[in-house]
Amino acid sequence: MSVLVKLTLTAALLLSIVIPFGAFAVGEKTRGRYKAALGANLFLFFGVMIFAAVLMFQGTAFAAEETAEAGAAVSAAGMGYLSAALSTGLSCLGGGIAVSAAASAALGAISEDSSILGKSLIFVGLAEGVCLYGLIISFMILGNL
């Protein structure tokens, strides 16, 4: 893709985010206007993404024989990067769910009895540890690539 096409697609993606929420920010902030802005944002964003995918994949396949050998090594490294990203992302998602439950319960308990602040923070910290375990696993995966 040429540089002009890349700049045009980048500008279109940025405008698909800025225009709907800019129009929402200028006027009265109601639930209906927020839903309309979000719908317009999603429609414009995914429309630009589909258009970019069509532009990207419309070319012809040439020199496929030369890239077939290199593709095997690249795909193995790509799967390693994907697994590292998934281990971090999913562990952080689970950690976020655990922290939300533990922190809300801790705040409720602290509001009734302030002497249990230290005990409740331990449980919130344990829930955050799940994210760190996923990050450590992703570092171990990336170290073996």
89: three-class secondary structure by DSSP: helix
pLDDT value of position 28: 78
The DSSP output letter for 13 is: H
Using 70 as the pLDDT threshold, list the residues of the chain that sit under it.
1-2, 57-74
Place of tokens 């225009």: 19
Cα 67–chain centre separation = 30
Radius of gyration, CA atoms only, the chain = 23
d(CA 121, CA 82): 33
At what angle are helices 117-143 and 64-112 packed, to 10 degrees?
170
pLDDT value of position 67: 57
pLDDT value of position 40: 82
Output the CA torsion 31→37→41→42 (10° steps).
40
Which residue type sits at 22?
Answer: G
Residues 131 and 91: beta-carbon distance below 8 Å? yes
pLDDT value of position 137: 93
pTM value is 0.49
What is the b/e burial string over 81-93, where b = at least 16 CB atoms within 10 angstroms of the residue's CB?
Answer: eeebeebbeebbe
The two tokens of residue 44 are 């414009």
